[in-house]
Amino acid sequence: MSSTPKRRQKPDLSSSSSHPSSILSKKEPPHNLFPSKQEFLRLIAVLAIASSTLQILLSNLCEPCPRNGECNQGKLECARGYRKHGNTCIEDGDVNERAKKLLEWVENRLCEAYADFLCYGTGIIWVQEDDILNDLDGHQLLENYGSDNPAHVYTKMKAMESISGVLQTRTNANGKKEFKCPDLLVEHYKPFTCELQQWISEHALVIVPVCALVVGFSFLVWKIRRRWYLSTRGEELYHQVCDILEESALMSKRVNAECEPWVVASRLRDHLLSPKERKDPVIWKKVEDLVQEDSRVDRYPKLVKGESKVVWEWQENNSKQIIFGDKGLLAKVPLNINEQ
């Protein structure tokens, strides 16, 4: 099966050459290829809106500047008194500690001065702000910093803020600010003697009668106890005196006895009383009264070694004695007075 090859058709040169203007018209750009002036202005407006929208979107994606900080060209700088910690600004602990100590120092000075005024009438009440600032400049916590140093200025400013929050303030006639220790706070700075004195003065109408009652009751109790003591101790000494006098009288009657039947009262007193009891003459006076009332004892003066002494002597005929051995009186058997 045979096929007949197709022949390529030749372009029609005559037609193309006959129309050169049509060829040139096909190579020129169309008139609407470039935008018009209005379209160009619209394009610029669209680009501006798109740019602002993109800027807003990008700003929303950035982290905001933290509190107490300043952001400049993407760099964070913290304000005075704050230090950088990651992406935040925190307070400087050293500055706060120094400000706290300065507050305590000013508070102690003002409250102690006010307490002295309330207790003793000395000291001051109100202190001007300028005086406090001058005192702060001379404090040892700020001596290492110059007066123009930012740390010095901020620490003092921080301390004054704390002082204004704790102490009482007012503005005087000259328009200057003054500070004073609050009345509730000054009570903690008063010494104990001052508080006691004020408490007594406030409750004097109650304290005086109560103290008088307590003193009177205490004196009455002491009087009763002393009377009971003198009575008890006097009777005890009286019985000892009687035993000594009776034994002395019996010993003097023995064969070859060298002792006297009487006893010097002053020597008997010094023998029976302790040194402390000798200073109280009432005790021995009680014994003398009991001896004087006893008819078994004679009291009379006698010259002893050239001195006049009062002696006491037991009357033997008032009792019958039984003596065993050489140690003195061991038993007594009283007899009836009518048998004399």
pLDDT value for 340: 34
CA–CA dist 312, 244 (Å, integer): 10
**Spatial CA neighbour of 181 closest among 135, 121, 127:** 127
Q: Are 167 and 107 in contact (CB under 8 A)?
A: yes
Structure tokens at 166: 């704790």
- Please list the pLDDT of the chain residue by residue as tens digits (340 residues): 444 444 545 445 444 444 544 544 555 555 565 667 777 777 787 787 877 776 665 555 556 676 667 777 667 677 666 766 566 676 666 777 888 888 899 999 999 999 989 888 888 889 998 888 888 887 777 766 666 667 777 788 888 888 889 999 999 888 899 999 999 999 898 888 888 888 888 899 999 999 999 999 999 999 999 999 999 999 999 999 999 999 888 888 775 667 788 899 999 999 999 999 999 999 999 999 999 998 899 999 988 888 889 999 998 654 444 333 334 443 343 333 223 3
Q: Are 270 and 278 in contact (CB under 8 A)?
A: yes
- CA dihedral (200, 204, 210, 214) in degrees, to 10, reads 50
* Strand pairing category for 82-85 and 88-91: antiparallel
Ordered by where they begin, the domains of the chain are 93-191 (3.30.420), 224-339 (1.10.10)
Cα 175 from chain centroid (whole Å): 36
**Spatial CA neighbour of 124 closest among 180, 166, 168:** 180
Look up residue 87 and give its amino acid: N
Containing 106, the helix (H) or strand (E) segment is helix 93-120
Q: In angstroms, what is the C-alpha Rg of the chain?
A: 61
Distances (CA, A) of 274 to 230, 254, 277, 283: 14, 32, 5, 11
Other CB atoms within 10 Å distance of the CB of residue 225: 10
pLDDT value for 43: 76
Q: What is the pLDDT of residues 110-157, one digit of tens each?
A: 999 999 898 888 888 899 988 888 888 877 777 666 666 677 777 888
